[in-house]
Structure 1
Amino acid sequence: MGYNSIYRADLFAGQTIIVTGGGSGIGRCTAHELASLGATVAIVGRNLEKLETVKAEIEAVGGKVSIWVCDIREEAKVIETIGAIIERHGGINGLVNNAGGQYRMPLRDISTKGFEAVVRNNLTGGFIFMRETFKLWMEQHGGAIVNMIADIWNGWPNYAHSASARGGMWTLTESAASEWASYGVRVNAVAPGGIASSGLDTYEPEAQKQILEFPKAIPLQRWGNASEISSAITYLLSPGAAYITGACIRIDGGAPNARVCWGPLREQCNSTPFDGFHLEQPPKLLTEGPKQHSSCKPA
């Protein structure tokens, strides 16, 4: 049994697509889906063991994948890695700028060093990967880039460093889409909201308490999952999105549309998650912790 994608099996046959942060979470899921659709997936990350695990998973179901240990924040290493991927696979058709991360902290307590570290992880590193992929390959051959941002539309309290970086990545996406369109390079973004991925288990206890209350504030009254993010990324990379650039797909259950003046959100719902990833396991926080709010099934 392999990935259960909604797209045709040969959609990316003969193409090479880079997925940064491909060793876990959304990146792992996306790598699986793209490989199931015929792509050779170059997964990039800092942890060799995690990359090797994903490589074995993909190859077990007949997919093609290569692994590259690289910290996206290190410019020289990024340049070296992209050059090596081109040499190994003969080109780059797509880039999924997924790597990133953050921690919970009130704005007043974020140090300058901490702020800069998160911005470099979620914005500067992605910029370097975009720029070098364009210069080393896509400027001459075209391609598609999908950048990961987040549900930042009404601010992100306690994560202002990441909100700043993700907001920057969004305007960077719009800028690159304009500058690079004439080269046949499309640049878009996806903005996940609350996603039930392994990353939830990494937050400290105080943050986890708030996480468990999250569905109450979401019109669809549930968590999203990695498959639902991957589906949007796959679409933006596909020929079906050939006239889409400088756009962002929100994948957030309608979170930014909820308004206090509307009153309490209806707890019951009929929103059925799409779960295409055959190896996905929900985070322990949502399966072993206190029961979630809402009668909806968890994503």
Structure 2
Amino acid sequence: MQDYAPPTDLLSGRTILVTGAGEGIGQAVSQRLAAHGATVILLGRTLSKLESVYDQIESAGGAQPAIIPLNLEVATERDYLELAEKLEAEFESLEGLLHNAAQLRLLSRIDDYDLQTWFRV
């Protein structure tokens, strides 16, 4: 099992949204998802960082990612609705989500958060 290497097309045809994709864990995961065939939606607050990750994915031969600049910490309910509309309009489906942005305040189920706390998380 130590020599296991997933096939490069393991995630082919799948679309995955990564928040906090501009640096750190989000950047690394985005690159690995793309390396295994996923179309990655890069979401983060700094456009230049997202563009850098985009360029890295394309240079490595990954599927063309998408960029959505959005600061989730200060986003409004309307921003979230517009995000949902954009995802629905531009992508056939969404098979995965890595919610890596902002901060984790409480260790609990998602449906235990009120709307304002969820916006910050």
TM-score range, shorter chain: 0.7 to 0.9
Aligned partner of 2:13 in structure 1 is 14
Aligned partner of 1:172 in structure 2 is 109
- 1:44 is displaced (CA, Å) by 0.2
Equivalent position amino acid for 1:89 in 2 = F
- Of residues 90, 93, 115 in structure 1, which corresponds to 2:92? 90
- 1:79 is displaced (CA, Å) by 2.2
Question: 3-state DSSP class of the match of 1:171?
Answer: coil
For 1:7 and 1:76, the matched residues in 2 are separated by: 39
Equivalent position amino acid for 1:14 in 2 = G
- 1:72 is displaced (CA, Å) by 1.3
Q: Summarize deviations over 1:202-235 as a string: whole Å, max 9, x none.
A: xxxxxxxxxxxxxxxxxxxxxxxxxxxxxxxxxx
What 5-or-longer segments of structure 2 have no aligned partner?
A: 113-121
Aligned partner of 1:72 in structure 2 is 72
Is residue 24 of structure 1 aligned with residue 23 of structure 2? yes
For 2:20 and 2:72, the matched residues in 1 are separated by: 9
For 2:87 and 2:33, the matched residues in 1 are separated by: 17
For 1:42 and 1:34, the matched residues in 2 are separated by: 10
Equivalent position amino acid for 1:34 in 2 = L
What pairs with 1:1-299 in structure 2 (closer than 5 Å)? Answer: 6-64=5-63, 65-73=65-73, 74=75, 75-100=77-102, 122-123=103-104, 165=105, 168=106, 170-173=107-110
- 1:46 is displaced (CA, Å) by 0.6
Equivalent position amino acid for 1:68 in 2 = I
Equivalent position amino acid for 1:66 in 2 = A
Please say if residues 31 and 43 of structure 1, whose CA atoms lie closer than 8 Å, have aligned partners that are also in contact.
yes
For 1:14 and 1:47, the matched residues in 2 are separated by: 27
TM-score, normalized by length of structure 2? 0.79
How high is the sequence identity, in percent, across the aligned residues? 35
Instruction: Name whichever structure is richer in helix by fraction.
Output: 1
TM-score, normalized by length of structure 1? 0.34
Question: 3-state DSSP class of the match of 1:82?
Answer: helix
Equivalent position amino acid for 1:79 in 2 = L
Equivalent position amino acid for 1:171 in 2 = S
Equivalent position amino acid for 2:48 in 1 = E
What 5-or-longer segments of structure 1 have no aligned partner?
A: 101-121, 124-164, 177-299
For 2:81 and 2:93, the matched residues in 1 are separated by: 14
- 1:91 is displaced (CA, Å) by 1.5
Please say if residues 71 and 77 of structure 1, whose CA atoms lie closer than 8 Å, have aligned partners that are also in contact.
no
Equivalent position amino acid for 2:59 in 1 = A
For 1:24 and 1:38, the matched residues in 2 are separated by: 20
For 1:6 and 1:33, the matched residues in 2 are separated by: 12
Question: 3-state DSSP class of the match of 1:19?
Answer: strand
Equivalent position amino acid for 1:172 in 2 = R
Query: Larger RCO: Structure 1 or Structure 2 (Cα < 8 Å, ≥ 6 residues apart)?
Result: 2
- 1:77 is displaced (CA, Å) by 1.4
Runs of 4 or more, structure 1, over 6 Å off, are none
For 2:7 and 2:47, the matched residues in 1 are separated by: 31
Aligned partner of 1:203 in structure 2 is none
